[in-house]
Structure 1
Amino acid sequence: MELLTSWITTLNGIVWGPLMLLLILGVGLYLMAGLTAYPLRNIGKAFGLLFRDRKSAQADNKDRGQISPFNALMTSLSATIGTGNIAGVATAITIGGPGALFWMWCTALVGMATKYAEAVCAVEYREIDSDGNYSGGPMYYIKNGLDKKWRWLAVAFAFFGAVAGFGMGNTVQANSVADALASTFSLSPEITSVVMMVLVGLVLLGGVKRIAAVAGFIVPIMAISYVLLGLLVLLLNLSEIPAAIALIVNSAFTGTAAQGGFAGAGIMLAIQFGVARGVFSNEAGLGSAPIAHAAAQTNDPVKQGTIAMLGTFIDTLIVCSITGLVIVLTGQWTAGEGGAALTAAAFSQVIPSGDVLVSVSLCFFAFTTILGWSYYGERCAIYLFGTKALIPFRVLWVAAIPLGAMAQLNFIWLLADTLNALMALPNLIALLLLSPVVFKLTKKAVL
Structure 2
Amino acid sequence: MENFITSANELMWSLTMVVGLLALGLYFTIRMAVPQVRLVKDMVGQLVHGGSSSAGVSSFQAFAMALGGRIGVGNIAGVAAAIHLGGPGALFWMWVTAIVGAPVALAESSLAQLYKHKIRGEYRGGPAYYILEGLGRQWRWLAFAYAAATVFATVVTGPQIQANAVTAATTAAWGWDPLWVGVAMAALFCAIVFGGMHRLGRTVGLVVPFMAAAYILVGLFVVAMMWQQIPAMFAMIVESAFGAHSIYGGILGAAVSWGVRRAVYSTEIGTGSGAQASAAAHVSHPVKQGLAQAFSAYVDTLFVCTVTGLVILATNSFDVLGPDGESTLTQNLPGVDAGPAWVQAGVDTVLPAFGPAFVAVAVFLFSFTTLLSFSFYAETNLAYLIPDKGVQKACIAVARVLLAASMVFGSVQTSAFVWSLADFGVGLYTWVNILALVLLSPMAIRLMKDYDRQRRAGQDPILDPDTIGARNAHLWRQVHAEYQRTGDVQAAMDHVADTAPDTRSIAIVPPRGR
TM superposition score category, shorter chain reference: over 0.9
- Quote the residue 1:282 is aligned against: 267
**Do the aligned partners of 2:165 and 2:339 also contact (CA within 8 Å) in 1?**
no
- Quote the residue 2:426 is aligned against: 420
Map Cα deviations across residues 238-283 of structure 1 (whole Å, 9 max, x no partner): 232222112111111115444xxxx874211110000001101101
In structure 2, relative to structure 1, the CA distance for the partners of 1:377 and 1:409 (3 Å cut) is farther
1:404 maps to 2:414: no
- The amino acid that maps onto 2:66 is S
Match for 1:44 among 41, 46, 61? Answer: 41
- Quote the residue 1:292 is aligned against: 277
- Quote the residue 2:82 is aligned against: 92
Q: CA–CA distance in 2 between the matches of 1:255 and 1:155?
A: 45
Q: Which range moved further: 42-51 or 406-415?
A: 406-415
- Quote the residue 2:344 is aligned against: 344
Counterpart of 1:266 in 2: which secondary structure? helix
> Alpha-carbon deviation of 1:343?
1.8
> Alpha-carbon deviation of 1:410?
4.0
Map Cα deviations across residues 371-426 of structure 1 (whole Å, 9 max, x no partner): 11111122222222332322221222223322222344644431331221121111
**Do the aligned partners of 1:160 and 1:419 also contact (CA within 8 Å) in 2?**
yes
**Do the aligned partners of 1:97 and 1:256 also contact (CA within 8 Å) in 2?**
no
**Do the aligned partners of 1:135 and 1:294 also contact (CA within 8 Å) in 2?**
yes
**Do the aligned partners of 1:165 and 1:416 also contact (CA within 8 Å) in 2?**
no
List aligned pairs for 1:102-121, cutoff 5 A: 102-121=92-111
> Alpha-carbon deviation of 1:320?
0.5
- Quote the residue 1:377 is aligned against: 378
Q: CA–CA distance in 2 between the matches of 1:412 and 1:90?
A: 15
1:161 maps to 2:161: no
Q: Which range moved further: 31-40 or 235-244?
A: 235-244
**Do the aligned partners of 1:95 and 1:265 also contact (CA within 8 Å) in 2?**
no
- Quote the residue 1:29 is aligned against: 26
Q: CA–CA distance in 1 between the matches of 2:157 and 2:27?
A: 28
Q: Which range moved further: 398-407 or 229-238?
A: 398-407
> Alpha-carbon deviation of 1:437?
1.1
Q: CA–CA distance in 1 between the matches of 2:290 and 2:315?
A: 37
**Do the aligned partners of 1:120 and 1:305 also contact (CA within 8 Å) in 2?**
yes
Map Cα deviations across residues 190-216 of structure 1 (whole Å, 9 max, x no partner): 432332122111111122211111100
Q: Which range moved further: 332-341 or 43-52?
A: 332-341
Counterpart of 1:134 in 2: which secondary structure? strand
Q: Which range moved further: 242-251 or 221-230?
A: 242-251
Q: CA–CA distance in 2 between the matches of 1:65 and 1:305?
A: 19
Q: CA–CA distance in 1 between the matches of 2:96 and 2:377?
A: 26
> Alpha-carbon deviation of 1:289?
0.6
- The amino acid that maps onto 2:202 is A
Q: Structure 1 length normalisation: TM-score?
A: 0.92
Counterpart of 1:128 in 2: which secondary structure? strand
- The amino acid that maps onto 2:290 is G
- The amino acid that maps onto 1:441 is L
Match for 2:211 among 210, 219, 222? Answer: 222
> Alpha-carbon deviation of 1:147?
2.9
1:174 maps to 2:171: no
Match for 2:180 among 185, 191, 199? Answer: 191
Q: Which range moved further: 33-42 or 412-421?
A: 412-421
**Do the aligned partners of 1:167 and 1:413 also contact (CA within 8 Å) in 2?**
no
- Quote the residue 2:289 is aligned against: 304
Counterpart of 1:427 in 2: which secondary structure? helix
Q: CA–CA distance in 2 between the matches of 1:256 and 1:95?
A: 15
Q: Which range moved further: 322-331 or 165-174?
A: 165-174
4+ residue segments displaced more than 4 Å = 255-258
Q: CA–CA distance in 1 between the matches of 2:102 and 2:264?
A: 11
Map Cα deviations across residues 47-88 of structure 1 (whole Å, 9 max, x no partner): 1221232xxx13xx6xx8410000000001111101111111
Query: Which is bigger in relative contact order (C-alpha 8 A, separation at least 6)?
Result: 1
> Matched residue pairs, number?
432
> Alpha-carbon deviation of 1:11?
1.3
In structure 2, relative to structure 1, the CA distance for the partners of 1:173 and 1:247 (3 Å cut) is same
> Alpha-carbon deviation of 1:44?
2.4
- Quote the residue 2:115 is aligned against: 125
In structure 2, relative to structure 1, the CA distance for the partners of 1:397 and 1:38 (3 Å cut) is same
> Alpha-carbon deviation of 1:24?
1.1
Map Cα deviations across residues 76-120 of structure 1 (whole Å, 9 max, x no partner): 111110111111111111111111111000000011101100110
In structure 2, relative to structure 1, the CA distance for the partners of 1:265 and 1:330 (3 Å cut) is farther
Q: Percent identity?
A: 38
- Which blocks of at least 5 consecutive residues in structure 1 are unaligned? none
- The amino acid that maps onto 2:285 is D
- The amino acid that maps onto 1:221 is F
**Do the aligned partners of 1:244 and 1:328 also contact (CA within 8 Å) in 2?**
yes
In structure 2, relative to structure 1, the CA distance for the partners of 1:422 and 1:190 (3 Å cut) is closer
Counterpart of 2:411 in 1: which secondary structure? helix
In structure 2, relative to structure 1, the CA distance for the partners of 1:66 and 1:199 (3 Å cut) is same
- The amino acid that maps onto 2:258 is F
- The amino acid that maps onto 2:67 is L
Q: Which range moved further: 334-343 or 147-156?
A: 334-343
Match for 1:15 among 9, 12, 15? Answer: 12
1:247 maps to 2:253: no
In structure 2, relative to structure 1, the CA distance for the partners of 1:32 and 1:139 (3 Å cut) is same
1:367 maps to 2:368: yes
Map Cα deviations across residues 123-170 of structure 1 (whole Å, 9 max, x no partner): 0001112x2222101000001001322221111111111111134531
In structure 2, relative to structure 1, the CA distance for the partners of 1:265 and 1:379 (3 Å cut) is farther
Q: Which has the higher helix share?
A: 1
Q: CA–CA distance in 1 between the matches of 2:71 and 2:165?
A: 14
